[in-house]
Structure 1
Amino acid sequence: MCSTFSLAAKPSIGESRGKIWSLQVINSAARSELNINIPREKNSIILPRLSTQGMLQSDVHICEIAERQSLANNLSDKGDAFRSKPQLDAMFLDEAYERCRKICAEYAKTYYLGTLLLTKERQKAIWAVYAWCKRTDELVDGPNAFCVSPAALDRWEERLQDIFNGHPNDILDAALTDTVSKFNLHIKPFRDMIKGMRMDTEKCRYANFQELYLYCYYAGGTVGLMSVPVMGMDPDSSASAQSIYNAALYLGIGNQLTNILRDVGEE
């Protein structure tokens, strides 16, 4: 994505997103075996609820996303009853995941190293998610971005729906289709990332913090929400799924804000 805040030139969002993924993978993997407990301290900071010009928790539907994705946490069989598995050839899927791995290793080297801390099944799933995000980002930040039209984004969103319906259009889509069936990913964060791509085709500067905050949700917060079910949550943790999803959401937004501030200094 290529949008900026009003004080900055075009930030290197592709590089920024790679660093966001790296932090999420490394932090989540390091804590995956720990009993996560997030008590609220007396003087803890509570992020403000933004006006309708910005992003509200209700707009993100964080409760719905957390409830849906938690059904298949830790590769539970509960997800199987929620969505039927697509019938995809095992050798075909192996090739699909391998291609996703290569995309991740080439374009997000630090993040890729972090994924190696995960189990084999989770590695493949996070590679599939990353490959889709990379391809989505390339629509508006790649060599052919100048000719991307609203109709092309409409078609990409239709392909996303096909993935979640179990009907992939190509081999890379097949990897995400299989991942969705195993981890019960919610479609909304993926759709919201495409909304961010639409924003990139319409504007390149933001007038206030509320607009910037919304952009950072599309660019980084969505990645956090996609990642939680793949990373997994400790079933013995006393932390609620809601609090973990909130933390992932704000981590993604915070990292994106930090990366934009870094770009202001560099550019």
Structure 2
Amino acid sequence: MSATLLWVVTTNTDFSNCIGFVGSIREGGRFHDSRSITRALGLRAGGRLKGKKSKWNSCSLNSDFKYSCLGGSESTGNFPVLSSLIANPAGEIAVSSEQKVYDVVLKQAALVNEQLRSKQALDVKPDMVVPGTLSLLNEAYDRCGEVCAEYAKTFYLGTLLMTPERRKAIWAIYVWCRRTDELVDGPNASHITPTALDRWESRLEDLFAGRPFDMMDAALSDTVAKFPVDIQPFKDMIEGMRMDLKKSRYENFDELYLYCYYVAGTVGLMSVPVMGIAPESQATTESVYNAALALGIANQLTNILRDVGEDSRRGRIYLPQDELAQAGLSEEDIFAGRVTDKWRNFMKKQIKRARMFFDEAEKGVTELSSASRWPVWASLLLYCKILDEIEANDYDNFTKRAFVSKAKKILALPAAYTRSLARPSKAPSELVKA
């Protein structure tokens, strides 16, 4: 299941198959000296890149959707996890996936808040001044932009609405996420082992330490040096790739929620420090991260529902096994591609849950800086339309792929722009600071 490369949002006042990179991580080679950035940028391969195109309640269906996915606290304005502890078959108490993810959200928000308290500006820092590297860095960012333009055309157009520094940073994040996803979902996936992912993670750590391996890494290394981006969401995305190597079934939504966070929700957390919250917004940093996470979960759930047939042909079922059983459905029904009334009713509930996450995500878009709202609204509205297309196909996501036509995409842009004009609310709400 491909990672969703989607919501790019932030919190400041004002997403390949790279030539040779798989071989690089399998060899485990890295740079370790102070001139590594210059050397990394010098590893450029000629020609354009080519490759495959390609706190929160878990919204249990048993609840019949009588409560919000995200519990709100009137006294604090935060999103507490209402069911953070679950019991396993042995009777032991374990932390739920939603609590694990929420803990990461708190850490990311705290990183930004710490910089605010120390009065460090969140605006980007000056470009690196190492002699001879600035033009190479610009070239590295340009190549990231080329990859984004080739493999995520609509998303790329949205990034052109951003300020130059933020646009380049999002390109660098996009490319790293795409390269990570290609490890287990690309043409070389059959050769990827857990050890290779361990080396990719070690390479990530070097990148954050200012020791990038190649020019794509150098662009991201520069980005994380300029913005308060934490390494944990990047590590968590790699963990999602590890999960894909060993897991093809999900017992319940708690397990699926964690997977969705790993491969998609992480992107929102990576991007939050880059895009910016409107200066006049009264939203807490935590609430904006929560909204970004909600959109990541929503988009990945949408991917899963759209790709049921494609995934089943690869032996994978990204649907909660317990909910399938409750609906009277079996794996044989999915592998046979049977569109029955039981399947339609099951899909209706799955789509309803995905839309609930989209609803939660909408609450945070208006809080973004004005230059970020239009591309985010466009991303959100277009992904919502995929769910509409599944319904239009009579829930046949076995033989029909739900896609949004170019005409519908174009028509969605004015609607997204209109919504982007709404100013952040200063009235008390669940997003507003206490």
Q: TM-score range by the shorter chain?
A: 0.7 to 0.9
* Counterpart position of 1:117: 161
Partner of 1:180: 224
- Measured in 2, the distance between the counterparts of 1:138 and 1:203 equals 17
**Structure 1 segment 120-159 matched on structure 2, within 5 A:** 120-159=164-203
Alpha carbons 2:98, 2:257 under 8 Å: kept: no
Q: Name the amino acid aligned to 1:222.
A: T
1:161 correspondence with 2:205: yes
Show the counterpart of 1:95: 139
Larger radius of gyration: 2
Deviations 1:138-161 (A, max 9, x none): 110010100101110011000100
Of residues 264, 272, 287 in structure 2, which corresponds to 1:228?
272
CA contact (8 A) 2:98 2:254 kept: no
Q: TM-score, normalised by structure 1?
A: 0.78
**What is the number of residues matched between the two proteins?**
232
Provide the residue aligned with 1:7 in structure 2.
none
Partner of 2:306: 262
Specify which structure has the higher proportion of helix.
1
Structure 2 counterpart of 1:62, from 101, 105, 112: 105
Q: Which residue of 2 aligns with 1:10?
A: none
Q: Which runs of 5+ in 1 are unaligned?
A: 3-12, 34-42
Structure 1 residue 204 corresponds to structure 2 residue 335: no
Mapped to 2, the partners of 1:70 and 1:137 lie a distance apart of 30
Could you state the TM-score of these two structures normalised by the residue count of structure 2? 0.49
**Do the aligned residues in 2 keep the contact of 1:100 with 1:131 (CA within 8 Å)?**
yes
- Are the structure 2 counterparts of residues 125 and 91 from structure 1 closer, same or farther at C-alpha, using a change threshold of 3 Å? same
Mapped partners of 1:235, 1:182: distance in 2: 20
Identity percentage of aligned residues: 55
Q: Structure 2 stretches of 5 or more lacking a match?
A: 15-65, 71-81, 87-93, 309-395, 399-434
Shift of residue 115 of structure 1? 0.8
Instruction: List per-residue Cα deviations over 1:121-179 (Å, max 9, x = no partner).
Output: 10000000000000000110010100101110011000100111111111000000000
Distance 1:68 1:53, change over 3 A: closer
Distance 1:111 1:137, change over 3 A: same
